[in-house]
Every structure is written in C-alpha cells, then in structure tokens.
Chain A
C-alpha cells in the first residue's frame, strides 16, 4: 500500500514537472516573439511610435512590439554604442545617424538588411536609387533611409520689418546688411535686446551641424568634408563660412554669451534661426503669434546654383542581438509604408525620405494645410549627409575648436583656422588607417 502511495506521489510529481515544463515552454514561445523598438526620445516621435506600435500589436498579436524611447543621454550614438558593448541593444531602432554607421558596423552591432530577399523592392519603391546609394556601407546596407530634416534659415518677419527689411536675406552680404539694422538696443539701457542671430558658443561637436556644416555644404555647391576619403574642406568656401560667422560675432550681431530663460527665437529676441522642420511644430505650439518664413541658408554673394544643405538624416536599423530578424524586418517595413510616412509628417513634422513626397496625392492634403513644410520638402532634394568617415565626432570637435577660436573670439584668421582644423582632421584620419 505504501509502495502504491509512493508511486502515486512520484507519478504526480513527474506529471507536475512535465506540466510545468510544458507551460514554461509555451510561455517562453509567447514571450520570445516580443520585439523591442527604440524611437528617438522626443515627445512627437514617442507619440508616433506609440501610435504605430499600437496598430502593429493589434494586427500582429503573435509578434508583439514593446516600444521604449532611447534612454536620454548626451547623444543617441553614445547610448547605442554602450548598448552594443553591453549586448543590450533593441531589435529595431529608428534614430540611426548615418555618420555613426561605421562605428556600429565595425562593432558588429547591425545586421545587413539587403540580405532580406525583398530589400531592393522595398527600399527602391520608396527612396530614389542615388539617395539610397549614399547609405551603403561597403557591400551592404545596414540601414534603411527613413526621414530627413533639411537645415534651413528661419526669419522672424516682424523683427525684420521693424528694421525696414522687406526682402529675406539670401546671401552673406544681404544677411550682414540686415543685421546692421536688426541688431539693436530697444530700451536704451546700453544692452542689445534684439539680435540678428545666436548660436551656442560652446565648442560642442554636433553644434557645427547647425552652422558651419550646412553653410559649408551650401557655399561649396553640395560638397562635404571628404572627397574620395581625403580631407577636402581647405578651400575658399570653408574660409568664407568662417569669415561670415566671424563677422557676425565681431560686429556684435551674435551674442558672446548664452541666453538665460528660454529660447531667444521663440521669445522673439533674435531675427534668424538655423533649424529643421521640427521647428515648425515648436513655433506653432509655443509662439503661435509669430510671423516667420523659411529660406535656404545664406550663401556667398557670388554663389550661383541650387542651394544645398545638411539633410540631417535619421534611419532605421536592426541590431544583431535580435533573435527574430525576419519579424524585425517585417516591423521595419511596416514603419515605412506610405500611410505611416503620412503619420510621420502629421505627428512629427519630419520628412520621410521618399521620391514621391511632393507628387503622391496621399501627402497632398498635408502640404496644402502646412505650406511651410513644402519649403522643406522642396529643399529635401538638395541635401547632403555626413561623410562615412571614422571618428566624425572628433573631426567635428576639431572644427568646433577652431570655429570657437576664429569665429566666436576672432583670434585667428579664417584661412589659418581652416588649415588647423584640416591638419588635425588629417591626423585623426591617418591614425585610423
């Protein structure tokens, strides 16, 4: 009897064990079909990601996506590199800076998207071939182009009109001439109250993506820092850009200090502002009364031809830590459908990298309602991206240091500053060979 009891207990234990195993396996299968998606941590993109992930999860209950904004840090690139090092990367991220691609791929952090059989049809169905080509890393594509934010010049029309300026400045000469009357002390206390422009004077590398770099691309007719792998920015165009900013600071059109207590453009304390399409939504929200217009960044007086600028592209990639590459790719394709590109426009005011952006009737209504965004959409065809060079952060830091010394403090002539920046860039490039 006792032995029967023991056997029964044993049987029950085995049944429980197997049952437990079976349950566990089942739940593991369910949880293993979860993808993690990191969007950029700004409120608009979080809202977009929330919406898209909600739709996806309703349509695909078997492949659930968990949205988690990129942890806030000094830069997304630092977070992603740390995540690659710690093998804590998400499955999909939609805030990939093409300039940082080399670091990600050399660390083996990303999977090649062109290994999916339908990559060509998906990518070329959305993005023109020549644009897509600029995102190739060696023999593969590790990113799919997603959005662009062309950097342009915003002008406060009221401040210009008060100074008697009716034509928006489009060249350095026009800008500096306007600055002479726009920059003024309105209450007679001896302090300037209205500035022509303002930039963060700290030598932070990415700040140059919103002054020197777009201005250089514009002044040079679409050139970037490198040509065939060699440093190529020692020329008249880069010197003219440094000279222009030096003039702005030296003549007091730009302040040598930080503004305390808010964004000076929103507060209508400065007449011009270098920014991207996201600024339109910011202005609508925080300064609805402001009258403004958007034009390409100023160019040298003798410049002729289309005005290019920095495209500020952000792309989507799948990380090599993913256990479900096929499902992750399906999710990426879902993010870039025409309908979801329209949501990107509607919610974030950012431009999808599409060949048919201005021609597709799906987007027509949006651009009719948001005529300011049409300016950016037109500019999108004339954009350039950061070079695919190693150590871009340090290269831009080197340029920043010279920018500070030459433009902000006027201690070195532009030609000398550009030569010094190029020399240090060459040192960095040689060290990386």
Chain B
C-alpha cells in the first residue's frame, strides 16, 4: 500500500510539494489547528491556567440564555444598518467624481485611500480625540457656531452611529476603488446611445450606471457585512463597549469572554455562533440581491 503510494509520489511531484509546503504549513498552523482546537474548546471550560474541563453542552446552554450576546448582535446589526448604506452612498459619490475628468485625479485617489492603510488603532485614537465631549475638535466647531455640544461617545444613542461614521471614513477608500473598477467596466457605447435617445444625466445614472454596478454592489455589501460583524478595534479603543453596552459588538463580547474573563471554551462557542450568524446573513443577502437583479 505504502509502496504503491510512494510509487505514485513521483520525483516531479515531489518538487511541487516542496513549493506548496510553506502555504500548507501556514494553513495547518494558523487555520486548521485553531479551527479544530476551537471546536474541541466548545465542549470544555478552560481558563488557560487550569487544566481543561469537559462540560458537554453547558457552553451552548449558556449561549441560549445569554441576553448580553443577543444585545451584542443587536448592536452589530445597528452598526451595519448605518454603516453599509452610508458606505455605499459615500463611496459611489466619490467614485463618480473621480471617474469624471477631474484635475489631480491620482492625488485624490491616493488621499481617499490613505485612511485604509493607516493603522486602525491610530485612526481610532485620532477620532476619539475628535469626538471628545469637552475637548474635541467637532464640539469646538459646533460651539463656535453657537450650536450645542454633541455627546458623540458618551450617550448610548449616539455612540454606535458615531463609530459607524468613523468606520465609514476609515474604509471608504477601498470601496471607492471597487466602484471605480465597476464604472470603468461599463461600456461607453451605452451612454452614447442613451444620450442620442435624449436621456438626461440622472436617467443615465439610474438606468445604466446603477444596474451595471450591481455585481460591484453585491461584493461591497458582502465585504461590508463580514467586515461589520468583525467590528472590534473601534469600540475596544473608543468606548470599551459602553455607554450602557450600546457599542458592545459581537467580536468585543467574544474578546471579553476569552481574554478578560478567561472563558476560552465559552468564547469559542460564541465565535462559532457568530460565524453561523454571519453565514446566514450573507446567504440571505445574496439571495435577496440576486433575486432583485434577476427581476
């Protein structure tokens, strides 16, 4: 049996295995092993220090009764509901501007992309300063205009929209690029034909540009949804999940359970549940969008 296998494992193949080995090793160490270990952890209680203790389905029982996890999911959904439409509108707007024959187009593209490459923690700290109730630039501007100060991060109803606004600013550059690619793929003949038929600019936008950008929209919505469910750095640095847990995202809750309370097993269970939620949302999202585009 082994001889047969070794016979098949020809010299030429052997070289190719060497070439793929770095990826395979990386995959086994950083993807397969953590996945398997997380799966095992879901049935254990483990605080890193003590030996692992088998608890059967106890972590799942807790998950079902855990209202805080539901709240964290609700907060994440609230973030997505603000962040995704805002992101699409802003990114599309800038992409349309950059697609036109504007001067210094390259410079603007680079400027819009700059926040994407800046460290998330740096951006978050910067915005935390901007949002500061007492000393922030935003409230200073409002005060100088005679307007009341806004409780950007210190009021439960303002905190998550403030974070969504910041996340949009941080990530919009990448979506501008995606929309630009989509816009460049639209054949110019369509616009020429529409212009000859007397279609106005707005009609061209709603009848040609938007439908032709549908595949790009799907990509952006899926990416934004997955990215939104991974919301962590912003609430972790800016609010710690407060005030009144209004910015406690699913990821932050998992982090707290794992590294603040040392409940590794329960955190693994929460991670599994969150992965299922993301999968369900993305599948539903795709079905709805595809159905709409067929219709």
Contact = CB atoms under 8 A, between A and B. Distances in A.
A404 B261 contact: no
Nearest to B47: A103
B49 A84 contact: yes
A404 B154 CA distance: 12
B31 to A, nearest CB: 25
A427 B134 contact: no
A89 to B, nearest CB: 11
A271 to B, nearest CB: 23
Contacts of A430: 62
Interface stretch (B14-22, B80-88, B101-109, B242-250): B242-250
User: Counting chain A CB atoms within 10 Å of each CB, which of B48, B49, B67, B133 scores highest?
Assistant: B49
A405 B240 CA distance: 15
Interface string B35-56: 0000000000101111000000
Given A257-B133, A431-B62, A106 B50 contact: yes
A391 B49 contact: no
Given A202-B240, A391-B261, A405-B244, A260 B134 contact: yes
23 contacts: A81-B48, A81-B49, A81-B262, A103-B49, A107-B49, A109-B49, A257-B134, A393-B261, A401-B244, A401-B245, A404-B244, A405-B244, A409-B243, A409-B244, A424-B67, A427-B62, A427-B65, A427-B66, A430-B62, A431-B58, A431-B59, A431-B62, A432-B45
Interface in A227-260: 256-257, 260
A418 to B, nearest CB: 16
Contacts of B67: 424
A256 B50 CA distance: 40
Contacts of A108: 50
Interface string A44-82: 000000000000000000000000000000000000010
B156 interface: yes
A394 B261 contact: yes
A388 B123 CA distance: 42
- The list of the 7 closest CB pairs from A to B, nearest first, reads A107-B49, A107-B50, A85-B49, A431-B62, A394-B261, A405-B244, A84-B49
A409 B240 CA distance: 17
Interface string B233-253: 000000010111100000000
Main secondary structure, interface of A, reads helix
B266 interface: yes
Nearest to A433: B58
A160 B263 CA distance: 47
Nearest to B50: A107
Contacts of A85: 48-49
A411 interface: yes
Nearest to A109: B49
A424 B262 CA distance: 17
B153 to A, nearest CB: 12
A264 interface: no
B68 interface: yes
A150 B156 CA distance: 35
Nearest to B239: A202
A355 interface: no
B156 A409 contact: yes
